[in-house]
Structure 1
Amino acid sequence: MTAARVRTGLVGLGMMGRHHARVLRGVEGVDLIGVADACGDPHGVAGDLPLVGSVAELIALGIDAAVVAVPTAHHEAVGLELAAAGVHALVEKPVAHDVPAGLRLAEAFESRGLVGAVGHIERYNPALQSLRSRLENGDAGDVYQIATRRQGPFPARIADVGVVKDLATHDIDLTAWLARSWFDIVYGQAAHKSGRPHEDLVAFSGRLADGTVTSHLVNWLSPFKERLTVVTGSRGSFVADTLNADLSFYENGTVTTSWDAVSAFRGVAEGSMTRFALEKREPLLVEHEAFRDAVLGVDATRVVTLRDGLATLRVAEAAIESARTGRAVDPRLLARSSDDALPALRIPTLSRTTS
């Protein structure tokens, strides 16, 4: 591998692939060498780059790393081919179509000492990065609850998974990451309202290992787009709007009363509200910089690992199972191998290491 530069290929030129191609061209220390898609280049993103029809042809161009933006059903096959060739990979979320496939991917990259990352892009959103730092600083006090809403119209690009694995995995990952605690239990309800084979609406609640209560509303049936995370603690509530990368804090007010019958009940009152000024860099760019630094051996702590993605996928499958059976499900009890341990939850930062 050329020192301080990463020769990178892109597999998949659909809706997400075109965004990856745009961003990769501007990442310092990265050379986009070629792109691959068996269906061609529908959005015209290749430009003067070699356009090939297979992963093998892309590998033959001499790449060090690849971004995998194919449909979820193909993540495992493409990832295993890259790992076998010694190529680092950033795989779009979810990590795979099911937990066994995700485990095979993680083991393939780990056994070869390769960087395997998952595109859980919300971790790189400025609002959530700032929120996590403030939670770590104790600004919310004791965290009681994390609630998310992720709603919008159906994206025509999605056909092989339902709304849980496509959209709710964002909320599962960011919730566990913000709290630094994994899910102990989930209970969900799902529905099929638009005639497709997979669920398009889900509402599920959960409890993290640290006792934090969570709730998540996700669908493809709303005519508006919403991406909201609310963290409620003993000092107030943080509200993060990741569509606009905005973060606000609603402080608990202090109210005194001499009325004994009322003062016996503890509660909160409306206090001051602060909207924070944040540096707003594009999350996809920050994600690619983190992947570049991991490949170069500069800093491997900022990527979302395949194990992270696997743990998130396990919770997603637990939510689907709960909706199917009508019972609460412990994600930890879903089939796992002896070495399939829960990963540490790290924080990527907004800072950039130049190459």
Structure 2
Amino acid sequence: MANLRAGLIGLGMMGRHHARVLSSLDGVDLVAVADAGGDPHHVARGLPLLSSVDELIGQGLDYCMVAVPTALHEEIGVALAEAGVHAMVEKPLAQDTPSAERLAAAFEGQGLVGAVGHIERYNPALRQARARIEGGDLGKIYQVTTRRQGPFPGRIADVGVVKDLATHDIDLTAWVTQRPYVSVSARTAYRSGREYEDLVAATCGLADGIVTNHLVNWLSPLKERVTIITGEKGAFVADTLTADLTFHANGNVATTWSGIAQFRGVSEGDVVRYAIDKPEPLRTEHEQFRDAVLGKDADIVTMRQGLATVRVAEAMIASAKEGRVVTFS
């Protein structure tokens, strides 16, 4: 069977990583790349370097990776769909909910595979956590807390921290718990002189009474990517920077010191850090999308799921702006 012919549009910071993986992916040939601004990271390496999506489509693609700025996702994605080209679009799916709806509909209408690059789903720590949750290791889930903070990345110019960083946490939380968001309450701040928010603190509700808290900012000198999932049997702590997963079990040892016991709901039990395989998340993401294009069983972030994430992100922004809780039916 011939290899799939893949293209890449958008050769910025993420584009160069996509080019590296696509160039070495089994069953795939990266046949051309495109960017109206040229090739600043020199990723073409002898491949045709084009300037538009139309030129890229002309190369006879089976699928395309879209890594352009968010504001261009709809225009380029729809062009690919109309040409019958499967596509994975970097997160967020689009700049707003209407654009995301149109983009998802375009691929569905053509019967194409459309995916969104929410890479955290492919982090080994979170994949292990979800598998163990499905196996009953935590019992009923009570709460998910995420912290995602660090310095401002100068490459982000068209969205704020909610649509850039917080969309990671929105998607991974809904995916790990397999529960949709039902309410959002958020506060934002603008501290770096840009038109977009650079800090958000959100408290949200998922179906079945699960509570989530998301702290996300571009204002911290330390880089942190932590997800804590608390349930009736204990808590998972996933560090997605190191791909480590630690389990803190509820203890079975009674606390005999009455002065402490009256303040404790559960006791501290065993702590286990799992030894897990750690493949590169970006490679896993591309392998899954390749398999989806081939019609195999695959775990991709669908455009409908990406649309749901955009909708929650916009609810966070609206909640902060209007000072109210936003609910979903």
Q: Same fold (TM over 0.5)?
A: yes
SS at match of 2:93: coil
The partner residue of 2:302 within 301, 305, 308 is 305
Matches within 5 A, 1:89-128: 89-128=87-126
**Which of structure 1's runs of 4+ aligned residues deviate more than 3 A?**
257-266
**Residues 270 and 54 of structure 1, relative CA distance in 2, 3 Å threshold:** same
Percent of pairs with identical residues: 64
Matches within 5 A, 1:35-184: 35-184=33-182
Post-superposition CA distance 1:205-253 (Å, at most 9, x none): 1110111110000000111111000001111110000011000001111
Letter in 2 for 1:226: E
**Across the two proteins, how many residue pairs are aligned to each other?**
329
The partner residue of 1:232 within 230, 233, 242 is 230
Distance, in Å, in 2 between the alignment partners of 1:312 and 1:91 is 14
Q: What does residue 193 of structure 1 align with?
A: 191
Q: Say whether the 8 Å CA contact 1:249–1:275 is kept in structure 2.
A: yes
SS at match of 1:108: helix
What's the CA shift for 1:259?
7.8
Distance, in Å, in 2 between the alignment partners of 1:98 and 1:81 is 18
Q: What does residue 212 of structure 1 align with?
A: 210
Post-superposition CA distance 1:10-66 (Å, at most 9, x none): 000000000000011111001000000000000000011000001111111111100
Mark the runs of 5 or more structure 2 residues left unpaired by the alignment: none
Q: Say whether the 8 Å CA contact 1:4–1:296 is kept in structure 2.
A: no
Please give the TM-score of this superposition, normalised by the length of structure 2: 0.97
Matches within 5 A, 1:267-286: 267-286=265-284
Q: Say whether the 8 Å CA contact 2:234–2:248 is kept in structure 1.
A: yes
CA RMSD in angstroms, aligned pairs only: 1.5
Q: What does residue 351 of structure 1 align with?
A: none
SS at match of 2:292: helix
Q: What does residue 25 of structure 2 align with?
A: 27
What's the CA shift for 1:83?
0.4
Q: Say whether the 8 Å CA contact 1:249–1:273 is kept in structure 2.
A: yes
Please give the TM-score of this superposition, normalised by the length of structure 1: 0.90
Matches within 5 A, 1:335-350: none
What's the CA shift for 1:331?
3.9
SS at match of 1:100: helix
The partner residue of 1:13 within 8, 11, 14 is 11
**Residues 267 and 90 of structure 1, relative CA distance in 2, 3 Å threshold:** same
Q: Say whether the 8 Å CA contact 2:255–2:267 is kept in structure 1.
A: no
Post-superposition CA distance 1:251-270 (Å, at most 9, x none): 11123257889878761111
Distance, in Å, in 2 between the alignment partners of 1:41 and 1:319 is 35
What's the CA shift for 1:298?
1.5
What's the CA shift for 1:312?
0.6
SS at match of 2:209: coil
Q: Say whether the 8 Å CA contact 2:184–2:202 is kept in structure 1.
A: yes
Distance, in Å, in 2 between the alignment partners of 1:245 and 1:265 is 33
